[in-house]
Structure 1
Amino acid sequence: MKKADKTTTNEALQKRQKMFSEAEKLANIGIFEWDIRANQVSWSDGLYHIYGLKPDEFEASFEGFLERIHAPHRERVRQTIETAYREGKPFEMEELIVRPNGEKRVLFTRGEVIQDADSQPIRLIGVCQDVTERKKAERARLKSVKLKAEKSQLEKLLKELKETQTQLIQSEKMAALGKLTAGIVHEINTPVGALKSTMDTMSRCSARINQILENSSTLAEVKNNGDYQKSLKILKENCQVASSASERIIKVVTSLKNFTRLDEAEFEMADIHEGLDSALTLIQHEIKDRVLVEQNYGDIPEIRCYPAELNQVFMTLLRNAAQAIEKKGTITIKTSSDENNVYVKISDTGKGMPSEKIKSLFELGFTTKDTRVGMGMGLINAYNIIQNHKGELKVESEVGKGCTFTIILPMDLKKTIKTV
């Protein structure tokens, strides 16, 4: 062959090699080959690019490759390749690599073992593709699907809430919950509105991402698309808003469910703190920005009781404490226990009442509009509920300084005939 012909051939080969390398980078793929007999590993330029390495800085080897696999994935990757080598079968795997700058990338690898005439492995070849951006887009899509499912679940919970209210309308619980309806609707409508707005935004972002994926020919083009990055950022921000709104709705609905306990046995072991927290959540609209609540909870055991009835007592005392505070003030809840009893103290910094009126506090129709909020049947029912639990309801009060109700409940209560 003439010298000129050799030069032309070399130039053509170099041109094809350059085109091949550029195609690898555009497609985010790289090729490797392991000459098993010579124990030599070769990487294409595209694979060096994916790993963030340069040929003159890193000599490809099987052990060097393993060192760049994210540690928790390393053994699985080793076993996959060793199994393919041993059995002579093609393999596929997904691995997480760590670049020299600490950046993590997700790769999908497909490989094959080449055998000689005696079925002995002589070469292992394969191709890797960087699927990091595709994975991010898929996670964003799945997160959107999850939020839609959560929205559906919340709508179901709201429907159950309405059904629960219908069941309560014939009971004493409804008398207490009726006063809370406006507040609960407000507490739920606000996050539902936020959730609806975020879902609309996320739906548009998802549609934009799908459009970008359909119109892009390479993953590199997707990655460098400004609208794609912007849409991912908006999705992340709206996920946080939706999550916060969902948690608020679930907290309100869960508190109402705990308060009513319609799906549980009437007489059972119960957590007093759970009942107090549920009652506080349901009156939140009456006290927020006005009343500070201090919860000094002791280490108390669960007790056998009628939890739905005790929740009515907590609701009554907390609502009356809030109503006794004309402007701003504090409600303090303290719990403790000894060998025989559990104690719950609910104090307020409200109007208080004179000692002579405490004597008639639990009489039918008690009201003292000049010193304390009218209480009607609420305190009578609360007193009867505590009596039915073989406990005590005590009151201490001083005009202008507030009032303290102390509930004493026995730990060894046996099931009794309800009187309320």
Structure 2
Amino acid sequence: MKKKQALIHNKVEIVEDRDDIVWAMDENYKLTAFNTSFKARLKLDGLGDSERGMDLKKVYESSSFFNPCKQGCDRALNRYATTSKHTFEENGGTVVHEFSFQPFMNSSGEVVGCCIWQRDVTQEVNNNYRLRESETKYREAQAVADVGHWNWDMVQNEITWSDQLYRIFGQDPETFKANYESLVEIIHPEDRDAFNEDVTKCIEGKELHDIVHRIVVGNGEIRYVHQKGRVFYKEDGQPYRMSGTTQDVTKDVLSNHQIVEQNHELQNFVRIISHNLRGPISNLLMLSKIYEWGKHAENDDIVRKIEHTTEALDQTIKDLHLSLSLKSADKEKFREVFLKDVMKDVDGLLSEEITRNKAIIETDFSKTDTVFGAKSYVVNIFYNLIINAINYAKEGVPAIVKITTGKTEEKVVLKFTDNGIGMELTPEKERKIFDMYGRLSGATEGKGFGLYLVKTQIEAMDGKIEVESEKNVGSTFTVTLPDKAL
């Protein structure tokens, strides 16, 4: 018996310096060895001091912490090593402990006792829970965004896909073996060369893999996917792995195709209608020129109204043509435009209005004195924003227009600030004033085509325009354009 107790005691001593609770007992449930953690736990549960030879059955029955040990020890004494987790409420929180029961046998193979090893696995369980929760949320995010991730082992030519990627490519994870060749087979035949070229460029040029292409799934259904990725290299410069994401962009691509097609149809419709109207409009205008005025007052009034209406219709057709031509601007002809040259042109165009209204135009181009685009567009933008400020000045107060420039990391910013009548600006009103024939107010003359033209020209140069306004204080128009100097 002493030899058996010594054997068990030596096993327990190995973990004396750990926080885990370890103890041993013989086949009669008598305590034979224990570490200090076991001793401390017994006192914490109000079960007195630990002594070799004490009956552990009473301990197992008296303490909720040790209660799970009775069944585990019974199995260990029957030669079955077991491990189990148990949850307890401690200090207002929930903790999880793992109990391991290991039988001890003598040289004859007889069970002479067992060793019990308990450890706190709360943190481990929480980490596993958070990991599972994170993986669940990640899978949900992939499903919502219709995007999956992949990893290509270039040495073994094996591709690992996330679950969402199998759904995007319409493949069964149980039967489909993903490698480069099998992936290329799914790609639309007309897009395979472009895909291979992009991958080669990515590997050899160390560039990002970024391509939208078609795939053929199921019974011939065509989908569009956006592939992005990068290559990883060994220390000797050899590529060994490539990873990235794939997103199903079928809806976006088809929607864009539909919009482009509708725009083409609309442009063709406008061109046909305007062409068919040009003849009658020209005839009406010509008839008004040869009409003998002054012989019949009532007829003069009717013809004058017809002439005004026809001129308005003629201008509307010209406006539509101009709008269409701006939307298809040739960006290859865009150049660096000096703002001081723009102001010279605008001063010449507006000299009479500025003098008559005693307007003051202040400019500060110190942050940047150039923009990239078409000079005629920039001149028109300055012209319309300045003339608007003059037209919407407070009664009896000369307009003061301050034009300043600024720069961000990738943008050039132009601000046109005035001291005019301003307005109560709602999101709906902000949208409408940039519509064709939108108006800032009904207090002034004009068709309201100017701001629509400004917005169209700015967008043709890949920019945007925004407005801030306060009634009786003034308005600020902010024009943002790309900085092509980068």
Question: How would you bin the TM-score normalised by the shorter chain?
Answer: 0.3 to 0.5
TM-score (norm 1): 0.37
Normalised by the length of structure 2, the TM-score is 0.32
Which protein has greater RCO, CA pairs closer than 8 Å, 6+ apart? 1
* Higher share in helix: 1
Instruction: Say which one has the larger Rg.
Output: 2
**Larger strand proportion, structure 1 or 2?**
2
